[in-house]
Structure 1
Amino acid sequence: MLFESADPDYFLAHWDLADDGSLLADHPPQVEGQAPFSDLVIRLSKLPVLTVSAIRGRVRGAGSEFVLATDIRFASRERAVLGQFEITAGVIPGGGAVARLPRLVGRARALEIMAGGEDFDGALAERYGYVNRAVPDAEFDAFIDAFVTRVSGFSVSAIRELKGEVNPQTLPKDDELAAQSDLFFAALATPEVQEWAKQAFENGLQQVGPFEEDLAEHSAKYAPKR
């Protein structure tokens, strides 16, 4: 299963920071005790097929957590931008990055990614293990097509069995995501973070333009000191 974006500048932006979670409060959880987004990424990570993210453009926050829940991440070397910027807003990532990144890149690099809140280009993301591979953009489409075509020709049951054996060794426990989601939404409701959001929205958050293009840099200007 391949995930890609038709927008050359954004693969998947981030959580709608105007939303405090109330719009989905009545959404019935499919995994007992999980918030809707946590439920989505948990089920995504456990699908009995191979999932591949082909990342061109920006993928931050919950967008990054979405691709972290897929099995394989390939990035355009020149055009991919990944990051967990939440610390600049005074919150921790709430959709799985805290649980998944240390397993992928190690403790120190995971803390650098999340505590630093900076953007990673495709080359550095590959070096850290944030993505599997960074591919020159001119070769990106052909590379993705070749990989997906190759894998799709293999035994469906063997892929399912392979994931069934790998998952218990590598996936976080479901309740890890529940705790992180609770911390995210609790912090989002504090006056300090609400003030950050007010200033950020006034200066271009979630609008086409420089603020979203260089989100890590601009967001940090209004970072709350909770």
Structure 2
Amino acid sequence: MTKRNPSLERVEGHDTLWTVRKGNLRCTIVGLPDGSVCLYSPVEKTGGIVAETHDVRFLLAPNHYHNKAVSEHVQLFGEARLVCTDAARPRLDKITGQRFEPLSSLADALPDNVEFAEPEGLKTGELWLIVRTGNELAWIVTDAFCGLQDNENEAAHPGFLKTFPKYGLKDKARFSDWVRERLEEESPTMIIPCHGEIVRGTSLRTELDNLLKTL
């Protein structure tokens, strides 16, 4: 994988989504109706890039493992509110020494085309954001899926982090069933993961179903 310097980029097909990436880690920036933004999974040493163009109102820790950049971003964005799921809060409060608010604090500030989804069968308190823009449907995920690219000339495809089955899964059958039920209701055209490449395509439903069979 080509080494990248941190840079901020707009997500293709979505006018109010940006990402900033450092190495293999990505923070997704979600625009809010009042002009401010929410950072989904802040990444270390990238906050300064975001601060140049965005007013950060919320810092969202999307599971209890993604906490290393919290203190840095609290110092940089002192007025920003910290939020997470109820399941992730005990460990996040303990590890970071910060106080995290419930998701309800962010819910009312989100645009109408963004909703929460809490996958079942995980033990990390992971939260997804589902974003609908025109014909595009993006799943913003944390550790449940990553974006793999075997060759720089080939399209990225969804995969699992090597650590996910051991450290992320609590009940693989329940998780698999939950994802499949979600796929029956909607067909994502894009997965924006915290790890790896953004995955795009009309065959994501099939790719994800096949991937779940490998758990």
TM-score, normalized by length of structure 2?
0.30
Question: Greater RCO between the two (CA within 8 Å, min separation 6)?
Answer: 1
| Structure with bigger gyration radius | 1
